[in-house]
């Protein structure tokens, strides 16, 4: 039987990013959550999504996003479309992990009800299961003809009153501060 004390002094440096990710995923879950503050994503024009500096937790990983803009493909007259802003996680052959923002364009539809979120094939995969590419939805851009609007898809994770909150399956769960530190 083999047991390794991961967080504790063992005389050698041994705690890996994967160890910390395992703990964070157990505490906060696998889905994407904005950390500390929920950012205000805005459309600065019909083709530019502005993303302020923010932090995202997903599958135990923390991604720090610098203020940036992402291009949104033009809409189609008399059509609806859903595009998704994804945080794309990748791990290369040398086990180097990276993240980038990717805008995934949906297909035009005749009505809002018929418009579907695009699929990349990398959603719903888990790093801990060996996936080397994972797409994590952060926001949805809905285009009604040529007019875009943006809504957040990732949940909020951060201070909320006297405790912490997390959206789970559409419900907000609170971890209340019991006054003990």
- pTM of the predicted model, to two decimals? 0.80
Q: Looking at the domain assignment, is residue 8 inside a domain?
A: no
Q: Looking at the domain assignment, is residue 12 inside a domain?
A: no
* Range(s) of the domain holding residue 32: 17-176
Q: Looking at the domain assignment, is residue 4 inside a domain?
A: no
Query: Could you give the CA distance from residue 118 to residue 85 in angstroms, rounded to a whole number?
Result: 10
Q: Looking at the domain assignment, is residue 1 inside a domain?
A: no
How many CA atoms, within 13 angstroms, populate the side-chain half-sphere of residue 146? Answer: 3
Q: Looking at the domain assignment, is residue 154 inside a domain?
A: yes
| Residue 174 backbone dihedrals phi, psi, to 5 degrees | -115, 140
How many CA atoms, within 13 angstroms, populate the side-chain half-sphere of residue 130? Answer: 0
Sheet holding 48-51, edge to edge: 42-45, 48-51, 68-71
Alpha helices per DSSP H over the chain: 17-28
Q: Looking at the domain assignment, is residue 6 inside a domain?
A: no
CB proximity list for 32: less than 8 A, separation 6 or greater: 56, 57, 58, 87, 136, 137, 138, 153, 154, 155
pLDDT digit string (tens) for the chain, length 181 residues: 677 777 777 777 778 888 888 888 888 788 888 988 899 999 999 999 999 999 999 999 999 999 999 999 999 999 999 999 999 999 999 999 999 999 999 999 999 999 999 999 998 899 989 999 999 999 999 999 999 999 999 988 754 444 455 555 555 555 554 544 4
Q: What is the CATH number of the domain that holds 93?
A: 2.60.520.10
CB proximity list for 75: less than 8 A, separation 6 or greater: 46, 81, 108, 143, 144, 145, 146, 147, 148
Q: Looking at the domain assignment, is residue 7 inside a domain?
A: no
Query: Could you give the CA distance from residue 141 to residue 3 in angstroms, rounded to a whole number?
Result: 47
Say what the pLDDT of residue 160 is: 45
In total, how many domains does the chain have? 1
Q: Looking at the domain assignment, is residue 107 inside a domain?
A: yes
């Amino acid at each position: 039987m083999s047991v390794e004390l991961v967080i504790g002094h063992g005389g050698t440096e041994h705690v890996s990013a994967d160890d910390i990710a395992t703990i964070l995923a157990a505490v906060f879950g696998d889905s994407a959550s904005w950390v500390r503050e929920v950012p205000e994503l805005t459309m600065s024009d019909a083709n530019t999504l502005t993303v302020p500096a923010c932090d995202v937790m997903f599958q135990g990983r923390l991604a720090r996003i610098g203020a940036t803009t992402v291009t949104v493909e033009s809409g189609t007259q008399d059509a609806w479309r859903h595009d998704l802003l994804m945080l794309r996680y990748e791990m290369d052959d040398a086990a180097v992990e990276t993240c980038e923002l990717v805008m995934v364009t949906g297909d035009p539809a005749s009505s809002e009800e018929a418009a579907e979120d695009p699929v990349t094939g990398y959603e719903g995969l888990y790093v801990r299961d060996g996936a080397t590419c994972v797409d994590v939805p952060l926001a949805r851009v809905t285009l009604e003809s040529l007019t875009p609007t943006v809504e957040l898809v990732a949940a909020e994770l951060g201070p909320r009153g006297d405790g912490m909150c997390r959206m789970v399956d559409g419900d907000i769960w609170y971890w209340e501060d019991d006054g003990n530190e």
